[in-house]
A and B are shown apart, each in its own frame.
Chain A
Amino acid sequence: MNDQSPPPMPGCRDVPVLRERGQREVFCGLTGIIWLHRKMQDAFFLVVGSRTCAHLLQSAAGVMIFAEPRFGTAILEETDLAGMADAQDELDREVARLLARRPDIRQLFLVGSCPSEVIKLDLAKAAERMSAAHAPNVRVINYSGSGIETTFTQGEDACLAAMVPVLPETDARELVLVGALPDVVEQQAVGLLEAMGIGPIRVLPAPRKADDLGLGANTVFALTQPFLGDTHAALERRGARHIPAPFPFGEEGTTAWLQAIATEFDVAPDLFERVTAAPRARARKAVAQAAEGLDGKSVFFFPDSQLEVPLARFLTRECGMTAIEVGTPYLHRDLMGPDMDLMVQGPVFSEGQDVDMQLDRCRAARPDLTVCGLGLANPLEAEGLTTKWAIELVFTPVHFYEQAGDLAGLFSRPLRRRAVLKLDAAQPPAARAEARR
């Protein structure tokens, strides 16, 4: 446990990847709205799609949908499909109604879906037109969260990448942390960096339009989430420079992530040590406790969020697990490189999915723990496999030091539960009689 040894030679950066095409059991990018709208407090996400899209958001949002959520679906009807010009007028009308009803909205995202993309409804043009019509109060931005183009967390990537071009220009040397994190986690990260004298620090997405950050040639940025490939590219197009690092999961990941930024800002080693020593020790202790029962166990990842690679790195290096297969919907080699460098060769890395084939491999391997979506979790449990449903890893605070123990706990809990439940326990009558004697 808590393997602090140097990176293995060679790591996994250059291992061949199993690329699969076939049936995929994944969410589309629309799901990103569920957490993005909590993060951006003055934004409304309007999906232009079908009843299926509305139904998906409802199923994914669970009970949250009742608290006057700042998202909705403009459901395409038969008349919208008949003539294209009409659809733009309809959209203008619905948006005007929406903005009249919600005057607190400052940013409106027109989110493309499979139906709107297939009929080639020009939402980019619509966003431009509406931005002009509702300026300066409301900014209208378009991105696609369609299943044909995006998988689950890629919805956040598409959203942030669409925001990058409209952000103001600046020459200031500022650090931008990219990726929507739970507030508590974001504050911890900013706190640690500021304690090292690094600043000013901005976050993308900003909580409000008024807090917009500027970008320019002196901007440096660090990703807190691995699924931000397009945003990464868009930021570089604006002249900003990326600080490559492993992702901040676990004690080791967090330290390496902070170290990369500290190096960029010339933080003295003793200052770095002073700031990180106590939280590192806390995190190590918490992980050691929470990871009890994970040591020596095997884990199999189905593709879901692109968090799989850094999480497999955390589980193998800090919790003593063995990875059998690390499935990811999309493997961005450059962004994932630092994490793959740290992993011992052995696990199969797979990109994409043919779900029935992958299920066959999973059943054959009989992993101790399978990380998968909710469509597979109960069926696999019924087959006797222990599962950890993956979506929770996106909603729960899991990054940085103080959450390292919680993160390990998310994986150890299902195994502990399997151990404590004695559901088949029933002594045969003879044994009971024996016990009474």
Chain B
Amino acid sequence: MKLAVWTYEGPPHVGAMRVATGMRDLHFVLHAPQGDTYADLLFTMIERRNHRPPVTYTTFQARDLGSDTADLFKTACRDAYDRFRPQALIVGASCTAELIQDDPGGMAETMDLPVPVIPLELPSYQRKENFGADETFFQITRTLARSVDRTARPSVNLIGPTALGFRHRDDITELTGLLMDMGIAVNVTAPMGASPADIARLGAAHANVLMYPETGESACRWMERELGLPYTRTVPIGVGATRDFVAELAALLDVPAHLDESRLRLPWYSASVDSTYLTGKRVFVFGDGTHVKAAARIARDEMGFEVVGVGCYNRETARDVRALARDFGVEALITDDYLDVEERIEALAPEMILGTQMERHIGKRLGIPCAVISAPVHVQDFPARYSPQMGIEGANVIFDTWVHPLVMGLEEHLLHMFRDDFEFHDAAGASHHGAKAVPRSAADDAARAADSMPGADADLAAAPATGGDVVTWLACAERELKKIPFFVRGKARRNTEKFAADRGVTQISVETLYEAKAHYAR
């Protein structure tokens, strides 16, 4: 058993639902107890879908346990087929139904439904949501896809986008446009928007574009082996990655590499002088493997940040993320426990977090700005406006998204200049964060005056000061520290304490603070 409050991923049957809900004319019969229908509202609320997910639940109750649940499953299956007339059915069990061992696949096979019925194995006690999506799409592809004649002109399939995917909707649009510019048609986009009939003609493409390895890699591998469709390894998130992707695809299809960069603004925005302050900003990157890999590259090579930590929650991409961490000279954090993530963030004290919804809240708690780069996400990250992550426009969106939580360069400069100003002291907070400015109090002013008085160093700060390895802050140093803008204060405190500890200094004075500042100057 493992105690959990937050989970980054749902159970595997939710992954199967993401595939089913993304597709058309496919129905999912899920053997599950009453209550598991909660997952519907992920789709109707977070993604704001205007229809119910195409899922029929058997919703068995305690009184149904025993042989009855098998009949219940068959009835549900029959009713679902009669009512929805899908082109194919997928059937599976949720965690509880897995325990009662009714074998939905076997039962559905005996029912002689006039459409393909695809059984799913979803090991709920070992695997999670992403696995469920990947496996479901793989099984659907394996059952339905056939060798068919290639299209006359070069075409590809877009593989991996699902319901409840982070920016999947707009990434499809962006990539479709990019491919069109290269003279490449999209044969089928799947699972999102595809019907079982579309799956049957996946083989007509010349190659697969694997958009999201988490949800499409197994199917791509199978198609490479069985249908002779090569697939792309580069995920086009970021400018460099998009260029690499275009080159990779051009080589695969033997067409000229062409990328229309007329709307690309990230490189110039990043080069412009206002971005100079971004140099060396220490960022921590966490999320699903694919988005983390892309974000780390952008952060270092296109924004000029210093990546101080990377990690992912899906162990399927652990190897890749570990390799990435080695490249960046940092330690990888592979965990699905958000408390571990919080601990690492606290230890690293980055100036910015690129993460998921959970990291956004961790950032809020620790006072560190955060931009969301990966699922799990909440309703605000299914925006109405066009906001892809992939391709040219994706790069523009990413620049804006990442820079906004940071205090802009000029603003930062002004805050430094006027940090003693009556409206710009710390308790006031930054105005665009909605905090109301509180004028500095008389007590504050008295404390400031005390700073310049001789003997101010004598009074110790509140921290208990015993033991040789404990570093305490003298009150004057503590006050001096407060003059440093809040967004770099954490780093200053940490550096100073390390500096002091390394030298066996137990009491930090104003002098120690500035010596440390000089030591770490860059």
* Chain A residues engaging chain B, CB cutoff 8 angstroms: 22-31, 46, 48, 50-52, 54-56, 58-60, 63, 65-66, 69, 71-78, 80-81, 87, 90-91, 93-94, 97-98, 114-115, 117-119, 146-149, 151, 356, 373-379, 381-382
Contacts and interface: CB of A to CB of B under 8 A. Distances in A.
Contact of A379 (B42, B52, B76): B52
Q: Interface majority SS on A: helix, strand, loop or mixed?
A: helix
Contacts of B4: 51, 54, 72-75
A51 B11 contact: yes
A80 B65 contact: no
Contacts of A46: 3
A54 B7 contact: yes
Top 4 A-B residue pairs of the complex, sorted by shortest distance between their CB atoms: A147-B35, A28-B35, A375-B40, A382-B50
17 contacts: A23-B58, A31-B38, A46-B3, A51-B11, A51-B95, A52-B10, A52-B124, A55-B7, A56-B38, A76-B125, A77-B125, A81-B99, A94-B1, A114-B33, A147-B33, A151-B35, A378-B48
A375 B35 contact: no
Contacts of A80: 1, 125
A4 B83 CA distance: 46
Given A73-B3, A74-B1, A375-B41, A382 B11 contact: no
B44 A377 contact: yes
Contacts of B11: 50-52, 55
Contacts of A118: 65, 96, 99-100
B189 interface: no
Given A66-B361, A118-B96, A25 B40 contact: yes
A28 B33 contact: yes
A378 B38 contact: no
B57 interface: yes
A77 B48 CA distance: 33
Given A52-B95, A114-B33, A148 B50 contact: no
Contacts of B62: 117, 146, 148-149
Interface in B1-57: 1-7, 9-11, 13-14, 33-42, 44-45, 48-52, 56-57
B3 A25 contact: no
A24 B79 CA distance: 14
Contact of A55 (B10, B57, B361): B10
Interface string B364-377: 01000000000000
Contacts of B14: 52, 55
Nearest to A66: B361
Contacts of A48: 1
B76 A23 contact: yes
Contacts of A76: 1, 125
B67 interface: no
B33 A77 contact: no
B35 A23 contact: no
B51 A379 contact: yes
A379 B45 CA distance: 10
B40 A50 contact: no
Nearest to B13: A52
